[in-house]
Structure 1
């Protein structure tokens, strides 16, 4: 039953990130349909209310998917070099994918918000070009979904290893961990 729930949660996070990515790309398409004049890196363009709404919706879904994956995966901490060396591969993968998911969240969320906010004005703003922010943020949503699933699966595998009584990083041998040598 636990595996079914885990599979459904992973599927839900992937679907949310997939929808967020599609919304980000659709926002970019809506933004590119508007008229604009470009000189070097500066441009004046008509804002797109549709791009604004789609970009903010994508950012919201990305953040929600991250919160769900982080809460359900738990916190896997490796605080020292010694602990890193003793950690199991599942715990190392979990910690690495957690850090990577936070980095992708930060960059993708900022790209989507910057792209959406460039379309929030009611008049024609002029400034530095913000092309491709929405589509790059949308593509990062896809990667975020994959990394969050890897995090959830590896975090649960590390928890399962620890609950079986094996400290992380120890190997299964014929001798119990607490045995002393004569």
Structure 2
């Protein structure tokens, strides 16, 4: 049963991040369809309400995927260099992919929010051109999904390893019928 839940969690994470990525790219396409005037690096353009809605949906899905992976995967961390050297490969992979997923989340979230907010204004906007924020944020959603799945799989494998290790430790230290430890 746990393997089915793990598969479903991984599938949910992937679907949410892919959908967020597609919505980010679609938001960029919708943003590029509005009327704009450009001179050198200064650009005046009308906001796109469709790009705003798509960008906001992408942000929500990105955050939900991250929360789900962290809730179901638990918190795997390494406190010191010595612990890193002694950690199992699953724990090392879980910690590394957790850190990378947080970094990618920060960059993707910032880009998607910046692109979305630039489309939220009810008036014409003039300023320095910010091209491709939504599409780059969308592409980062795909990468974010890969790191989240790697984190979830390695974190659950590490937790399973620890559970097996603790069960074997209890069985080895049980006293035999003569009262001595086995």
Is TM > 0.5 for Structure 1 vs Structure 2? yes
1:99 is the counterpart of 2:91? no
- Runs of 4 or more consecutive aligned structure 1 residues displaced over 3 Å after TM superposition: none
How many pairs are equivalent?
A: 167
Gap runs ≥5 in structure 2: 167-171, 173-182
Larger-gyration structure (1/2): 2
Output the aligned Cα RMSD: 1.1
Offset, 1:68: 0.3
1:141 is the counterpart of 2:147? no
Offset, 1:34: 0.8
Kindly provide the CA deviation profile for residues 95-154 of structure 1, in whole angstroms up to 9, marking residues without a partner as x.
000000001111001100000100111111101111100000100111111110000000
Please, what TM-score do these two structures have when normalized by structure 1?
0.89
Gap runs ≥5 in structure 1: 167-175, 177-182
Distance 1:165 1:13 in 2: 29
Aligned position for 1:30:
30
1:112 is the counterpart of 2:112? yes
Aligned position for 1:171:
none
Partner-residue secondary structure (3-state), 1:77:
coil
Distance 1:136 1:87 in 2: 35
Distance 1:8 1:81 in 2: 34
Partner-residue secondary structure (3-state), 2:165:
coil
Distance 1:74 1:137 in 2: 26
